[in-house]
Amino acid sequence: MISPRIIKNKQMVNRLLFLTLGLLAFALTVWAQPNPKSDRPNIIFIMSDDHAYQAISAYDNKLIETPNIDRIAKMGMLFTQASVTNSICAPSRATILTGKHSHLNGKIDNHFPFDTTNVTFPQLLQKAGYQTAMFGKLHFGNNPKGFDQFKILPGQGSYYNPDFITKNEGNIRVEGYVTDIVTDMTLEWLQNERKADQPFMLMYLHKSPHRPWLMAERHMEEFTKRTFPEPSTLFDDYSGRTSPAGEAEMNILKHMGWSGDNKLHPAIMKQLGIADVGGYDTIRYKSEFARFTPSQAENFRKYYGRIDEEFIKKYPSMSDEDKMRWKYQRYMQDYLGTIKAVDENVGRLLDYLEANKLMENTIIVYTSDQGFYLGEHGWYDKRFVYDESFKTPLLMAWPGKTKAGTRSDALVQNLDFAQTFLDAAGVPAPADMQGESLIPLLTGNAEKWTRDAVYYHYYEYPAEHMVNRHYAIVTQEYKLIHYYFVEDQWELIDRIKDPQELKNVYNDPAYAAVKKDLHARLEALRVKYKDSSEISQSYIDRLLDDAVQGKVWGISKERAVELKNRAKK
């Protein structure tokens, strides 16, 4: 006989089952309803210009603390092997927007404008119902498509009292410091223009820490006094590699401007008989200085005048080594000073998102258009496929989806953003996009990520900094690099044994098998991504033609003609 107690329990179980099924059915109906706001995440893409991962404390805190940028890594994931496909500004931005390598989207260098017939992910998101906005630096030579709102800097933009090209107000000039202003514009849009019933995609793009590294007035006192550790390769003599490393014009001692970069007053250079670097050093100083209001100029002179005075005393007894060290310190003070304001402003944005409950369903990205040399190999600038400029910082948070405080060593690239964002929004990516969605990595499904090598191709030569054209395959263990313009040269770098990338082992018999394998894989990658020597040649002709007419910044007509003749042979 069944006891009444068991019967009662059975009834309760049935009731519970009924209730659970009912709840489940209700949940499914709610879930199936198109609810644009909760379904599709907002996307906030924060990008700075030339921000080296060595200058973000989530990666390395020997140079600077960036507590606010680090918050994104703490909330989400830090990528240790994120890289770009072509280490230069506008081409990187074009790759980000189109999800295609430079040779297919056509934006191979900073010189020629972006082809606006390209399809970009913001256009697709806008069509799919996203509200879109862009503030800050784009550097395309034309205006962005697919944005409901934009306020962008013309070209490289200015640090002080910058001009903006705006969607609705024409061209405007705003008094103040660029990093603060771009943030003010962004916050104002979030507060006053953002529509609560639409998901949004916001691009918040800093000019800092780009050359000429002008920090905010409030940071001058602190940063002009600081001393920073030197990288161990500051005095690299480039002997272990093929010729392009030694031929590049981005050595701190030889090519960094005393005035335009290191901010010595042009009169001091004259007084001490120091030659103008590249013929445009003091002009660059004067053009930045001319933008200051009287009070900004006074403040600047207060801190930099002190540096001038100390320098006058030191200069007569300085060796080349001393000069290199002095320039490196001046460079770091200014470069890192500009980052301090970026970090503070990223903090303002994150605080706003928190205070306004906008964190929950928002993907937040912090990255740079490429990395940068902070004295490694004696360099500033970027362009090479060596780590400091090939890699780029990447921190991504998606609260609720990405586990907090995680790291990924996957070989991800700026090529992957477009498909990642489209994937997150449930919008199909066009078949000719060449990246991969990062969502499996972000959501703890790393086993679905199978990429084991990436492709790189840099083109802007002959031009400023004179970094020769090269393409490469990069794996976790190796880099095989082909410099193909004028002379054919190959480099093989063992990333594990030689992390500082000082030694070309291409002709070392011990690497014969590795070399053979990498050559085959590089060719396969070129086929996969549809690159070829014919395409490269057309891009050589295009830039050289302009260079011989004296139209390329940073290279004289005569020098271009000489290179063109050498290339013909």
Helix (H) or strand (E) holding 53: none
Q: Which is it for strands 470-474 and 170-173: parallel, antiparallel or unpaired?
A: unpaired
Partner in contact with 344, chosen from Ca ion, ligand SGN, none, beta carbon below 5 to 8 Å by kind? none
Contacting ligand SGN (CB under 6 A), which of 88, 181, 385, 466?
88
Shortest CB 88 distance to ligand SGN, Å: 4
Contacting Ca ion (CB under 5 A), which of 236, 369, 381, 388?
369
Shortest CB 554 distance to ligand SGN, Å: 7
Residue 193 DSSP code: I
Shortest CB 109 distance to ligand SGN, Å: 9
Q: Which is nearer to ligand SGN, 177 or 373 (CB)?
A: 373
Q: Which residues pair with 202 in a beta bridge?
A: 44, 133
DSSP for 322-358, please give it.
HHHHHHHHHHHHHHHHHHHHHHHHHHHHHHHHHHTT-
For residues 125 and 104, is the Cβ–Cβ distance under 8 A? no
For residues 437 and 43, is the Cβ–Cβ distance under 8 A? no
List Cβ neighbours of 28 (8 Å cut-off, separation of 6 or more).
none
Shortest CB 298 distance to ligand SGN, Å: 24
Partner in contact with 211, chosen from Ca ion, ligand SGN, none, beta carbon below 5 to 8 Å by kind? ligand SGN
- Whether the link from the prior residue into 212 is cis, omega within 30° of 0, is yes
Q: Tokens 């078949």 appear where?
A: 431
Partner in contact with 212, chosen from ligand SGN, Ca ion, none, beta carbon below 5 to 8 Å by kind? ligand SGN
Q: Which is nearer to ligand SGN, 347 or 554 (CB)?
A: 554
Site for ligand SGN in 277-296 (CB under 6 A): 284
Partner in contact with 381, chosen from ligand SGN, Ca ion, none, beta carbon below 5 to 8 Å by kind? ligand SGN
List Cβ neighbours of 297 (8 Å cut-off, separation of 6 or more).
289
Contacting Ca ion (CB under 5 A), which of 42, 43, 46, 50?
50
Shortest CB 137 distance to Ca ion, Å: 9
Decide: is 210 part of the binding site for ligand SGN (CB under 6 A).
Answer: yes
CA dist., res. 139 & res. 539, Å (int): 20
What is the side-by-side order of every strand in the sheet holding 394-397?
A: 170-173, 163-166, 149-153, 131-137, 200-205, 42-48, 362-368, 394-397, 77-79, 406-408
CA dist., res. 244 & res. 471, Å (int): 13
CA dist., res. 93 & res. 87, Å (int): 10
Query: By CB under 6 A, which span of 172-180, 204-212, 266-274, 289-297 interacts with ligand SGN?
Result: 204-212
Q: Considering CB under 6 A, how many residues would be counted as binding ligand SGN?
A: 15
Contacting ligand SGN (CB under 6 A), which of 148, 388, 436, 464?
464
Site for Ca ion in 66-95 (CB under 5 A): 89
Contacting ligand SGN (CB under 6 A), which of 44, 45, 46, 50?
50
Query: By CB under 5 A, which span of 1-9, 46-54, 213-221, 518-526 interacts with Ca ion?
Result: 46-54
Contacting ligand SGN (CB under 6 A), which of 85, 86, 110, 338?
110
Decide: is 109 part of the binding site for ligand SGN (CB under 6 A).
Answer: no
Decide: is 263 part of the binding site for ligand SGN (CB under 6 A).
Answer: no
Shortest CB 526 distance to ligand SGN, Å: 24
Query: By CB under 6 A, which span of 97-105, 205-213, 433-441, 524-532 interacts with ligand SGN?
Result: 205-213
Q: Which is nearer to Ca ion, 70 or 369 (CB)?
A: 369
Query: By CB under 6 A, which span of 172-180, 210-218, 397-405, 471-479 interacts with ligand SGN?
Result: 210-218
Decide: is 457 part of the binding site for ligand SGN (CB under 6 A).
Answer: no
User: What's the token pair of residue 318?
Assistant: 């300085």
Query: By CB under 5 A, which span of 11-19, 178-186, 361-369, 548-556 interacts with Ca ion?
Result: 361-369
CA dist., res. 162 & res. 160, Å (int): 5
Q: Strand locations in 422-558, DSSP E? A: 454-458, 470-474, 478-483, 489-494
Site for ligand SGN in 339-398 (CB under 6 A): 381
Decide: is 212 part of the binding site for ligand SGN (CB under 6 A).
Answer: yes
Residue 435 DSSP code: -
Contacting ligand SGN (CB under 6 A), which of 465, 469, 479, 526?
465
Query: By CB under 5 A, which span of 16-24, 44-52, 122-130, 529-537 interacts with Ca ion?
Result: 44-52
Q: Considering CB under 5 A, how many residues would be counted as binding Ca ion?
A: 4
Partner in contact with 464, chosen from ligand SGN, Ca ion, none, beta carbon below 5 to 8 Å by kind? ligand SGN
CA dist., res. 367 & res. 31, Å (int): 33
Site for Ca ion in 406-465 (CB under 5 A): none
Helices marked H in 224-314 — which ranges? 243-247, 252-255, 266-272, 281-289, 294-314
CA dist., res. 395 & res. 366, Å (int): 5
Q: Which is it for strands 200-205 and 170-173: parallel, antiparallel or unpaired?
A: unpaired
The three-state DSSP-derived secondary structure of 97-163 is: HHCCCHHHHCCCCCCCCCCCCCCCHHHHHHHCCCEEEEEEECCCCCCCCCCCEEEEECCCCCCECCE
Partner in contact with 263, chosen from ligand SGN, Ca ion, none, beta carbon below 5 to 8 Å by kind? none
Shortest CB 69 distance to ligand SGN, Å: 19
387, 316, 333: which is closest to 64 by C-alpha? 333
Contacts to Ca ion by CB under 5 A: 49-50, 89, 369
Contacts to ligand SGN by CB under 6 A: 49-50, 88-89, 110, 139, 156, 210-212, 284, 381, 464-465, 553
